[in-house]
Amino acid sequence: MPSARVSLAPEPQSVGRARRLLRESLATWGLDNLEFAASQALTELATNAVIHARTDFDVLLEWTDGALHVGVEDRSARMPVQRSYAIDAATGRGLRLVNRLCRSWGVERTDAGKRVWFEIADVAGAEDYDDPVTDWSGWIDADEVEEGPASGALARAA
């Protein structure tokens, strides 16, 4: 079960470092086909850690049972909140994008803060969820975004 981990500072350059670790790991593991969806989802989670948590954060990658598991752990107890934004707003769609790109995702409290995670299956075994590259129908429909704080585990099941 290959894995990789990096600890990063809460600064914009860390988002690029997280993507680099992902890209290099996927290439080493022969999983280049997962790079687009995984890179987009990781960018959202790492950016949220930099902007909202404002703490050091860890990026964890693990390939197991035919799926890529990615976690971003920060030191903030503040849970993510999905809000409704106008269709032309320049913000507010990160978690919705993660929801569309990934087979499952969620957030869990940890002793030190929280862990936001996602899972992407190898494309060969991904028939059971939305096509991460071509099925973009409605992903910015703000009417479907729930308002309010996330509690416990917020997740989209496979």
Ranges assigned E (strand) in 30-113: 57-64, 67-74, 104-109
The pTM (predicted TM-score) of the whole model is 0.74
The pLDDT tens digits for 101-147 are 889 999 999 999 999 999 999 765 444 444 444 343 343 333 333 33
**What average pLDDT does this structure show over 22-33?**
95
**What average pLDDT does this structure show over 15-41?**
95
Tokens at 100, concatenated: 């569309």
For residue 10, give the DSSP letter.
Answer: S
The pLDDT tens digits for 38-84 are 999 999 999 999 999 999 999 999 999 999 999 999 999 888 766 66
Please say if the pLDDT value at position 23 is more than 90.
Answer: yes
Residue 109's contacts (CB-CB under 8 Å, 6 or more residues apart) are 77, 79
Q: Which domains does the chain have, with CATH numbers?
A: 3-156 (3.30.565.10)
Tokens at 105, concatenated: 């995702």
